[in-house]
Structure 1
């Protein structure tokens, strides 16, 4: 079996071009997607010293209580409210 250097180099060039143009196309489509995507006003808090209070409160609660206590409280609220 004879392997031609020309065919190997042509195949390597094809692989490099496909990878390069795929990456460039992906970046162009991601830029277009960012331009047309609606602004998420809840993504980052407004203001210099603003923090997301809900996320911080849940994180503090999760650190203090074991999983089974939190689950028991949530089940209690579920049975009281019914939702």
Structure 2
């Protein structure tokens, strides 16, 4: 079997072109995806005094109230709001 240099160079060029255009297409699709992606409005809290819920939960843990007092407060809020 004879392998010609012309066929090898064609195959090498084809591989380079496929890799190059695949990379360019991937980058274009990534840019388009970022343009159409919805805004993450819950990423950071809005407002000057706003805190995330996780931070409020950590503050409650820092106070270390007994379980029954916390449960009583939650039940009181539940009966007032009905939620």
TM (norm. structure 2) is 0.54
The residue number in structure 1 matching 2:25 is: 25
Tell me how far apart the structure 2 counterparts of residues 9 and 52 of structure 1 sit (CA, whole Å). Answer: 59
- In the alignment, structure 1 segments of 5+ residues that lack a partner are 62-83
Q: Which runs of at least 4 in structure 1 moved beyond 6 Å after TM superposition?
A: none
Displacement of 1:41 after TM fit? Answer: 1.4
The residue number in structure 2 matching 1:69 is: none
Match status 1:3 vs 2:3: yes
Displacement of 1:43 after TM fit? Answer: 2.7
Q: Taking structure 1 as reference, are residues 45 and 19 closer, same or farther at Cα in structure 2, changes over 3 Å only?
A: farther
TM (norm. structure 1) is 0.54
The residue number in structure 2 matching 1:36 is: 36
- In the alignment, structure 2 segments of 5+ residues that lack a partner are 62-83
Tell me how far apart the structure 2 counterparts of residues 28 and 15 of structure 1 sit (CA, whole Å). Answer: 20
Structure 1, 34-43 or 4-13: larger mean CA deviation: 34-43
How many equivalent pairs are there?
58
Tell me how far apart the structure 2 counterparts of residues 20 and 9 of structure 1 sit (CA, whole Å). Answer: 16
Aligned residues: CA RMSD: 2.9
